[in-house]
Amino acid sequence: MGDGGADAKRDLLAAADRCVACGLCLPHCPSYRVARVEGESPRGRISLIRGWAAGTLAADTALQTHLDQCLGCLNCQTACPAEVDYQALLTGVRAQLPPTGHGASRMARWVVAERWRLWLANGLLRLATRFGAANWPWPAAWRARLAGLPERPPARLRPAPERSSWLFGGCLSAPLDDAARVAAAQLLARLGQPVHDAADSGCCGLLAQMAGDGTTATRLGESLVERLHDHGVDQLISVSSGCHGRLRELLRAERIELTDLASALDKGLTSKPMAFAGPAVHVVMYEPCSQRAHIGGGTWSRLLQRIPGLSLVRLDQVPTCCGAAGAHHLQHPAQSGALRDELVAAVKASEAQWLLVSNGGCAQYLRAGLRGSGVRVAHPVELLAERALGPLDPNRAAQRLRDRR
């Protein structure tokens, strides 16, 4: 997109004109699934963007509401036969319109904008998890937000500066992904690839980018890349699918290899097979939007099929998005809640014991919806590690990793 307003509008018009209004995106759009109105579909939003950029529509409340209620899942972009760059359209128009967002979503973006705020927030999240804050008598709104905290106290991996491979778990989701990162580090170490934990390396700028704040997104991204170079990182392994697309943008011109965790494990297990064991189990592998949009599906399911006695339960006719969508669920709880409720009902009806999700934010949101159901919500790497290495004690695992430095 161009820097000036006129240039940006020309760029938006050019991108919007690629849309042929075929409507093949509609069945894949979660906001259209809930609202069933044209303005809540990708086709409708592209038409609104075209009208605003051409000067025939004003940026009134109705137009901004339709744009705000897009979850940014990019399922439409994946399905589009005309290859419309919907992400560029959405972030481009949001950058030109006045900022919106409720207090909670603005607070999330404010926290990740500075490393010290992020460090403090992560520490508070870890304390909240350790002391079972989800069970405290909070007001209903806070109870709903804290219900997705992990039920087990998290562990932290300690840095290993001499290692050139880093695990990247995200920023705000990092405390919620501690168990996943410990499991990933253990499996990778067993496969001959020791890694450094990058949990406190800062934010990639994705939340700011989704909100249309290109200045903050650029600053955070450049700062992260600079830290990676300062530490001599050769390879970055993304644990959570949410950040992967943004990391790919940042590292496209850098001499740092970006690999998603599923691909790293698939490669390692192909060259160095491991034995998996344990009781029979029924699991649902729910691939987040970010997995499908930025990485591709199927690898986690293929890895899980290495486990004897594991049955993958397929959910039919469920939403393509769980409703979390970064900080979107904080700003639009009713819309997001409708999507989550439909998915949660399908998981409960499946009688699966595990719901596996490769994105920390999605896992937290779904964990809150399934709290008390008996369904364990976890990252797929946690089940793989448990069946390959035995029950995972996160604190002992972290200590063993520190001892190997």
pLDDT digits (tens, 9 = 90+) for 294-349: 898 899 999 999 999 999 999 988 888 999 988 888 889 999 999 999 999 999 99
Percent of the chain whose pLDDT exceeds 70: 78
What pLDDT is attached to residue 2?
41
Query: Among 63-67, 74-78, 177-181, whose mean pLDDT is lowest?
Result: 177-181
Segments of 241-320 assigned E as strands: 257-260, 281-286, 310-312
Whether 398 shows a pLDDT value over 60: the answer reads no
Residues 160 and 118 in one domain: yes
What letter would DSSP give residue 325? Answer: T
Could you tell me how many helices (H) and strands (E) the chain has, helices first? 21, 8
Residues 291 and 179 in one domain: no
CA distance 169 to 161: 17
Residues 371 and 398 in one domain: no
Residues 204 and 81 in one domain: no
Which position has the higher pLDDT, 68 or 170?
A: 68
What is the average per-residue pLDDT within 233-245?
90
What pLDDT is attached to residue 124?
62
Phi, psi at residue 201, to the nearest 5°?
A: -85, -5
Return the closest-CA partner of residue 354 out of 297, 278, 299. 278
Residues 234 and 377 in one domain: no
Domain count for the chain, please give it: 3
Local confidence band at 242 (pLDDT 50, 70, 90 cut-offs): confident
Check which CATH number belongs to the domain holding 347 and give it.
Answer: 3.40.50
Check which CATH number belongs to the domain holding 72 and give it.
Answer: 1.10.1060.10
Mind listing the pLDDT tens digit for each residue in 89-103?
Answer: 999 999 888 766 554
Choose the final residue of a domain: 38, 62, 96: 96
Alpha-carbon dihedral angle through residues 355, 361, 365, 367, given to the nearest 10 degrees: 40
What is the average per-residue pLDDT within 272-286?
96
Residues 258 and 211 in one domain: yes
Q: The whole model's pTM is what?
A: 0.83
Whether 64 shows a pLDDT value over 80: the answer reads yes
Answer for the pair 166, 202: CB distance below 8 angstroms, yes or no: no
184, part of any domain: yes
285, part of any domain: yes
From residue 49, alpha-carbon distances to 3, 8, 56, 92 in Å are: 17, 12, 10, 10
Percent of the chain whose pLDDT exceeds 90: 56
CA distance 174 to 242: 12
Mind listing the pLDDT tens digit for each residue in 120-129?
Answer: 655 665 566 5
Choose the final residue of a domain: 44, 65, 96: 96
289, part of any domain: yes
Residues 133 and 261 in one domain: yes
What is the average per-residue pLDDT within 42-58?
96
Residues 91 and 231 in one domain: no
CA distance 17 to 190: 51
Residues 335 and 226 in one domain: no
Strands 196-197 and 165-168: parallel
Residues 263 and 117 in one domain: yes
Which position has the higher pLDDT, 141 or 195?
A: 195
Local confidence band at 135 (pLDDT 50, 70, 90 cut-offs): low
336, part of any domain: yes
397, part of any domain: yes
Answer for the pair 379, 357: CB distance below 8 angstroms, yes or no: yes
Choose the final residue of a domain: 96, 127, 162: 96
Residues 113 and 59 in one domain: no
Which residue in this structure is represented by tokens 């991996």?
A: 157
101, part of any domain: no
176, part of any domain: yes
383, part of any domain: yes
pLDDT, mean over the chain: 84
Phi, psi at residue 356, to the nearest 5°?
A: -105, 130
What pLDDT is attached to residue 153?
47
Whether 396 shows a pLDDT value over 90: the answer reads no
Note down the domain range covering 215: 106-269+392-403
Return the closest-CA partner of residue 357 out of 301, 309, 397. 301
Residues 159 and 248 in one domain: yes
Residue 162: Cβ within 10 Å count: 10
What is the average per-residue pLDDT within 157-172?
67
CA distance 402 to 393: 14
Which position has the higher pLDDT, 200 or 55?
A: 55
